[in-house]
Every structure is written in structure tokens, then in C-alpha cells.
A and B are shown apart, each in its own frame.
Chain A
């Protein structure tokens, strides 16, 4: 049996909104194995974002156990979580979130700086990651000199550079046109084939169809958890020319 990277047991999350208590998650139990490619789906207000924040160690659950790589992260403090995020999780955001004043290389190096990697290794690893997403000729471009697709590739390189346990992509194609979105999904396919574990948070069926497993969240519960039957294969051919 494959090893579980993510191990969630009875996770609940409660917010205080003024006088009201909001139960965003009402007991989520979920395992994700190494090298899985999972799409987490759900309408807004379903608890999907809260779940993603907990999986990404940006937030801690009110109750329940979360083990990431056999490490209990549900009771860690801010700085311990920051360290886990740095080592274990690669984030890809809908809005890219690149540093506008820094070039591609520095943007990708950033997690390594906080991870305490020396400048020589840092540069080498960052260049490898940038090569991996097909931007090997753009090291010193600033984000505003790149197209949307290229910016998302930089963000993916930044997520990959620390060799994290999971890639956590939150609507990665939300700000891209459909053709560019397809290219990015193609990149995720390749990364999955190379052995990465990918969690894709989306509300688009089309995008979710790239994954192998689909988890539907509704009202703070896992509504359905099923394999993707008609899996969509992205067009890889455009990668080299991107």
C-alpha cells in the first residue's frame, strides 16, 4: 500500500463571525497518497478554501488530527508552520503573487532564502526549477515583462524549487485564457508524471478532469470522493514553445 502524505481525521473548523459561529468544516476525513493527483471541488461557501488553507498549513483546525508526512501539524505554532510550509508545500495561486520588483530568478529563489539555502545552491536549484517550467531564457525578466501563462510558470517554479511533498494549486488557471490554461494543466501533468503529489482546488469541471481523483466538498463535509473516469489529457506539445 502506498504511503499517505496527507492524513486528515475528523477535521473541524469553526469561526467566530461577530456573535455567530460559522462551522466551515464539520468533520473531514481524507487521505492523499504520494504521487496522487487530486482535484478538490466545491461551490463557494462549501469549506473548500478552508480545507485548502488547513492542508497548506496556513491555518490550523479547531479539532481533529492532521498529519503531513507523519508529522502532526494540527498543534504547531506560527513559526513551526512557516517552516513546514517552506519545506513541504509548494503553493500556486490564482493571482500568481509574484514580487513585482524582483526578476524571475529572485522570485523563484525566495523560498530557498527563507529555507536558509546558501546562495550558490540557491541559484543552481532556482535555475533548474525555472528550466523545468520552460522559462530557461527568462531568468532576469521582471513579472511585468511576462505573459500571464509565463507568470504562472514562474509561480510553479517557485512552488517546485524546495522539492515539496505536495503542490497545492488554488484555481491556477482562473486568471488565464483557456488556451494558456490548458498549457498550464499540461505542465501539471508532466510534474505529476515526474512523481509530484498534486492537489488542485477548482470549481471548474473541465480543469478538475485533469486529475485522477475528485473530492467534492459541500457544507463542510466530503460529499463524494471518486476516481475521474473520463480523464482529460492536456496538450503537451506547446510546452517547448511557451
Chain B
């Protein structure tokens, strides 16, 4: 019995390939819709994959166990006016956390602004200048590539020293050893004591390496007043205790900022998870829209296949009659035409994937990605599925033909 199915399948496959070969032009035109559908499915999948990958790489820099105490919540929401009028977070709030919190590993006040950076005639505009303290390296777990990070002596004493990001280092010191050199940040001289290792970028848009870190006390005197709000970056004791740490921070901040028990927090404690949630929402919308468009393309392609399969069935009425006369059961006829439509669509799918591959290399230029094997497999499965679904009605009609009428058909 199994052998019968195998032979039946082989026969069906042979007929399908024969029919496609006999109608090359027609098959090619029919399958165009499927090709377009599969190209869009594959590219959409590749782009989403690339976005995911870029996001996951970026998010790692942010750290799952780091809490960012800020005025503004990530991911939006809340009353804009209320948030805008909140009291700023100040350096003393960071001090309070440092002194009172028991579940934190390290705390760093961070303040940033944009400045140009110069060294011996070379200028980079719009470098992000971060004012922070010596604990920053502990808070972010960033790696120092050359030299060292600033010491607590330097940060508390407001010494004119800086640590630079790898991108800044490459631009200013293409052929020089940067440590010990004095660069100008804005209009002020800073001596380079260290270079951080490359950290990458956020979604390929904002680089983490185009930065200069200076002592926050000096930052206040040279770039922005200490009345401006800062962020407080806090590394929790462990990944498991993040929620506990968060609660502890809330308690301390509410106390030092004198928030009444009935009032809501007048600060936000941001963490990686919020970004992940936001990203998943956006990603979901992108995927849904993409799915709808590609689904539409495949639907139109499927209708084309159904149409041509009806033609194919009608053309071969006599052959169907003959096959039935010599003993083909309805099932075999059904399978023969289902196979034909599935094979046409599968070929369309393969062509689609082959076309999509070089296009995915273009996407790669913008969003580092590679066409994943899983997408290729899914695309081929989808094309076979479309073939079976759109071929079903014509195949069913063929299988139900009356052999007498079919044999008499001219």
C-alpha cells in the first residue's frame, strides 16, 4: 500500500513536471505573482531579523541590570506637562542613593551635552560629552581598551582629564598613541587617560563610541550648570535583585525629593526592559503591516495559479477521462493536480528566494543582517502551501469528473 502511494506520487510528480515543461511560458507568467510574493516575504523577514539583531546588540550595551533614574520615562506615556514641570534630578540625589541604598553595586551621576572635539587641526563635531564619576566604568561594565578610566581623585577633584570612545580615538589619533595627549573639548583642554573599547551603536543610528567622558564636577563648571538635571545610572547588586533595587531607589528618591505619600513618583526609573517592550510593539506593527502586504501579494499570486489550474484541468479533460478509465481513483487525480500547482509554486518560491538573496545584501548595507535559513525554509513552505490551497478547487473538480463525459470531451 505504501508502495502504491510512492508510485502514485512519482507519477504525479512526473506529470506535473511534464506539464510545466510543456507550457514553459505560461507557467513562468503564472508563477510571477508567487515570485513577487516570496521576494517580499523573504526581504521582509530578513529586514525584521536585521532589526532584531541590531536591537539585541544595542540593548546589551544598556545592560539588563542597570537602572536609569531620569526625569523622562522611556517609551513615552504619562502627562507631558506634568513630567516637564518635575523637579530636576540633581547630584545630591545620586549622593543620597550612594549613601543609603544597600542593594546597589554602583551609582554614577551622568550628564551629557554635544561639543566639538579638536586635536592638532582635526575637528569632530557633535561628540557627546558625558560628565560622570570614576564609578561609571563599574556601572556600565564598559571595557577600557587603552590606558585607564578616570580615578575617583580625578573625578572628585575635577581634574582636566578625559576618557574617549573608540570612534573619537580613531578620528583624532589615526597614527598616534592617544594616552597623554591633550585634546580640546569645546574650548577647554583635557588630557586623554584612556580609550574605551568599541561598543557599537543603537540600531545603527546613534554610536556609543562617539563619546568623551570627563569628571562631572569639571563638566558643571565648563559645560553646563549643576542646576540642570542629570541622570543617575545604577547597577543593581545582581540581575535577580533588579526589582528589589528599583523599589529601594523609589523609596530613597521619594524621601529626598519629599514626595507626599499620596502623590505619584516625580521621576522615572528606566530600564532595558522598557526598551524591549517598546521595540516589540514597534516590531509587531512592522511585522503586521509587512505580513499584510506580502499576504496580499501571495493572495493575488494564488488566484493566478487557481485560474491557470482551471485552464490546465479543462485542457486535459480527455487525459483525466483516460486515467479514470484505466483505473485511477479520484484521489490520484486530485493529487496529480495538487502536485502540479504545488510544484509550480515551489519553483516560483525558489526563484523568489534566489532573487531575494542579492537584494538582502543591499539591506545588509543599511542594517547588518543575513538572510536566515529559517526564512528561506518558511518562504518555500509558504509557496507550497499557496500552491496546495489555490490548486485545490481545480484539482477537486478534476477528481470528480465523470469518466464517460471526460472521455467524450473534444
B222 interface hit (Cβ, 8 Å): no
Contact A114 B3 (CB under 8 A): no
* Chain A residue contacts of B404, Cβ below 8 A: 53, 58-59
Task: Tell me the nearest residue of chain A to B332, going by C-beta.
Answer: A114
A97 with B328: in contact, given A59-B404, A113-B7, A116-B4 (CB under 8 Å)? no
Contact A97 B322 (CB under 8 A): yes
Which residues of B, 314-360, contact A by the 8 Å Cβ criterion? 318-319, 321-332
**20 A–B contacts from the bound complex (CB under 8 Å):** A56-B325, A58-B325, A58-B407, A78-B329, A78-B330, A79-B330, A82-B330, A83-B327, A86-B326, A91-B325, A91-B326, A93-B407, A97-B322, A97-B407, A111-B326, A113-B7, A114-B327, A118-B3, A158-B326, A162-B327
Apart from A56-B325, A116-B4, 9 more pairs, CB < 8 Å: A53-B404, A58-B325, A79-B329, A82-B327, A102-B18, A110-B323, A113-B8, A119-B7, A158-B326
Q: How many residues of A contact B (CB 8 A)?
A: 27
Which residues of A, 69-88, contact B by the 8 Å Cβ criterion? 78-79, 82-83, 85-87
Q: Provide the bound-state CA to CA distance between A102 and B329, in Å.
A: 20
| Residue from B4, B22, B330, B331 within 8 A of A101 (CB atoms) | B22
In the complex, how many angstroms separate the beta carbon of B3 from the nearest chain A beta carbon?
6
In the complex, how many angstroms separate the beta carbon of A136 from the nearest chain B beta carbon?
22
Contact B1 A85 (CB under 8 A): no
Contact A111 B407 (CB under 8 A): no
| Residue from A53, A83, A116 within 8 A of B3 (CB atoms) | A116
Contact A114 B328 (CB under 8 A): yes
Contact B319 A99 (CB under 8 A): yes
Q: Provide the bound-state CA to CA distance between A209 and B7, in Å.
A: 42
In the complex, how many angstroms separate the beta carbon of B358 from the nearest chain A beta carbon?
35
Q: Is chain B's binding surface mostly helix, strand, loop or mixed?
A: helix
Q: Provide the bound-state CA to CA distance between A99 and B7, in Å.
A: 18
Interchain residue pairs A-B with the least CB separation, the first 5: A86-B327, A116-B4, A97-B322, A111-B326, A114-B327
| Residue from A53, A82, A93, A119 within 8 A of B328 (CB atoms) | A82
Contact B3 A101 (CB under 8 A): no
A227 interface hit (Cβ, 8 Å): no
Contact B329 A82 (CB under 8 A): yes
Q: Provide the bound-state CA to CA distance between A59 and B407, in Å.
A: 12
In the complex, how many angstroms separate the beta carbon of B156 from the nearest chain A beta carbon?
88
A43 interface hit (Cβ, 8 Å): no
In the complex, how many angstroms separate the beta carbon of A178 from the nearest chain B beta carbon?
24
As a 0/1 sequence over residues 18 to 33 of chain A, the CB contacts with chain B under 8 angstroms (1 = contact) are: 0000000000000000
A195 interface hit (Cβ, 8 Å): no
In the complex, how many angstroms separate the beta carbon of A47 from the nearest chain B beta carbon?
14
A114 with B319: in contact, given A53-B404, A101-B22 (CB under 8 Å)? no
| Residue from A83, A87, A119 within 8 A of B329 (CB atoms) | A83
B11 interface hit (Cβ, 8 Å): yes
* Chain A residue contacts of B165, Cβ below 8 A: none
A45 interface hit (Cβ, 8 Å): no
B33 interface hit (Cβ, 8 Å): no
* Chain B residue contacts of A97, Cβ below 8 A: 318-319, 321-322, 325, 407
